[in-house]
C-alpha cells in the first residue's frame, strides 16, 4: 500500500505549485513587455509607408483572385495576411530546395537606383493544384508536391505567372510610374544571390485558397527598390498638394478679377410705412410723412435686393451719401 500524505505535506506541495505558477506568470509578463530592437539596423519602412503598401496589395489580392478564378474556373480566394520587414537571409532560410521562385524586375523610368529583383514564391500544393487544373484535371495537388516539377509543368506555371505580373503593374500605377516584368523561374532558391544576405527586404504574405487547397503567396521586395518607390510617391503627393493649393489661390484670384467689374444695384432703405389709399389720394406738396423712426437711426443698405450693410445718411461733395457703419450680420 502506497504512502499516504499528511495534510501538512499536501499544503506544502500546493504552496510550492502556487509559487511556481506566480514565477511563470511574472516571467511571461516581463517577456511581453520587453521587445528586442536591433539599433544597428533600424526599421526602414514607417507606418505610413506600410499603410500604403497594405492598400496596394489588398487591391492586388482582389484583382488576382478574380483573375485566377476566371482562368482556373474554380473559386479562388486571396487575402493579404501580413507585411513584415526582415533581412533577406531570413526569407531565404525559410525556403526549401523544392520551392520555386519567380524573379520579377521592377523598372522605374528616369530614376537611378539599385536594381534588385523582387521575388514571388507560391506554396507547392497550390502550384500543383493550378497546374493540374490547367492540364484538364480537377485541381488536385496530388501526393508528390515536394518531388520537383517537370519541364512541362514549369512552362505551364510560367504562363500562369505571366498573367498575374501585369496586375502588379496596374495596382502600382495609381501611385508610382513603375512596371514589373517577368525575368525567370528559379528552381533552386538557395542559389539565388541577387540580394545580399543582410539586406533589408519587405515580405508581403498572401493567403490563397483554391477549392479545397490552401497555401501562401510570399512576395519579397528589396528594401532599396521599395524605398525608392515610396519616396517617389511621397514627392509626387507633396508636389500635387502644392499644385492644388496654387491652383486654388489662382482660381480665387481669377474669379475675383473677373467679377470685380460687374455692375450691381445698391439701394438705401430708410424704413417702411403703411398708408391708406385715402391718405395717398389727399397727399399734397409740403405734406410730412411720419416715418416713426429717430433722425439719427441707421439706414439699411441693400445690394441686389440682399441686405449687406447698415449706414448713416449724409452729404459728400454736396451729394447725398451713406456712410457704412456696420455689417448686416451684426443686426
Place of cell 489662382: 250
Stretch(es) of the chain classified as CATH 3.40.1550.10:
47-240
Stretch(es) of the chain classified as CATH 2.30.330.10:
266-330
Cβ-based burial of 126 (10 A; exposed 0-12, middle 13-18, buried ≥19): buried
Superfamily name and number for 47-240: CheC-like (3.40.1550.10)
- pLDDT value for 1: 44
| pLDDT tens track for 211-268 | 888 999 999 998 888 888 888 888 887 777 776 666 666 677 777 777 777 888 888 8
Share of the chain above pLDDT 70, in %: 86
Model confidence at 30: pLDDT above 50 = no
Contact 273, 292 (CB under 8 A): yes
* CATH number for the domain formed by residue range(s) 266-330: 2.30.330.10
pTM score, whole prediction: 0.61
Order the strands of the 179-186 sheet from edge to edge.
Answer: 76-87, 200-210, 213-222, 118-122, 101-107, 179-186
Amino acid at each position: 500500500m502506497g504512502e499516504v500524505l499528511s495534510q501538512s505535506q499536501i499544503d506544502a506541495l500546493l504552496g510550492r505549485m502556487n509559487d511556481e505558477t506566480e514565477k511563470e506568470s511574472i516571467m511571461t509578463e516581463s517577456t511581453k513587455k520587453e521587445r528586442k530592437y536591433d539599433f544597428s539596423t533600424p526599421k526602414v519602412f514607417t507606418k505610413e509607408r506600410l499603410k500604403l503598401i497594405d492598400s496596394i496589395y489588398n487591391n492586388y489580392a482582389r484583382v488576382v483572385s478574380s483573375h485566377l478564378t476566371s482562368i482556373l474556373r474554380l473559386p479562388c480566394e486571396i487575402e493579404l495576411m501580413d507585411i513584415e520587414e526582415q533581412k533577406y537571409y531570413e526569407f531565404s532560410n525559410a525556403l526549401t530546395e523544392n520551392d520555386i521562385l519567380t524573379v520579377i524586375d521592377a523598372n522605374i523610368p528616369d530614376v537611378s537606383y539599385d536594381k534588385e529583383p523582387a521575388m514571388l514564391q507560391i506554396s507547392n500544393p497550390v502550384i500543383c493544384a493550378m497546374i493540374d487544373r490547367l492540364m484538364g484535371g480537377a485541381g488536385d495537388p496530388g501526393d508528390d508536391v515536394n518531388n520537383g516539377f517537370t519541364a512541362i509543368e514549369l512552362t505551364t506555371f510560367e504562363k500562369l505567372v505571366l498573367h498575374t505580373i501585369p496586375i502588379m503593374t496596374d495596382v502600382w500605377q495609381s501611385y508610382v510610374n513603375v512596371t514589373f516584368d517577368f525575368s525567370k523561374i528559379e528552381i533552386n532558391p538557395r542559389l539565388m544571390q541577387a540580394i545580399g544576405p543582410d539586406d533589408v527586404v519587405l515580405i508581403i504574405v498572401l493567403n490563397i485558397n483554391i477549392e479545397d487547397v490552401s497555401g501562401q503567396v510570399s512576395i519579397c521586395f528589396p528594401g532599396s527598390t521599395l524605398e525608392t518607390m515610396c519616396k517617389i510617391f511621397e514627392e509626387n503627393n507633396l508636389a500635387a498638394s502644392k499644385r492644388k493649393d496654387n491652383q486654388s489661390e489662382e482660381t480665387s484670384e481669377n474669379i475675383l478679377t473677373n467679377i470685380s467689374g460687374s455692375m450691381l444695384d445698391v439701394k438705401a432703405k430708410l424704413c417702411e410705412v403703411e398708408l391708406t389709399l385715402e391718405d395717398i389720394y389727399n397727399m399734397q406738396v409740403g405734406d410730412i410723412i411720419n416715418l416713426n423712426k429717430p433722425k439719427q437711426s441707421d439706414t439699411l443698405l441693400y445690394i441686389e435686393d440682399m441686405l449687406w450693410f447698415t449706414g448713416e445718411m449724409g452729404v459728400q461733395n454736396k451729394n447725398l451719401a451713406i456712410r457704412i457703419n456696420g455689417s448686416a450680420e451684426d443686426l
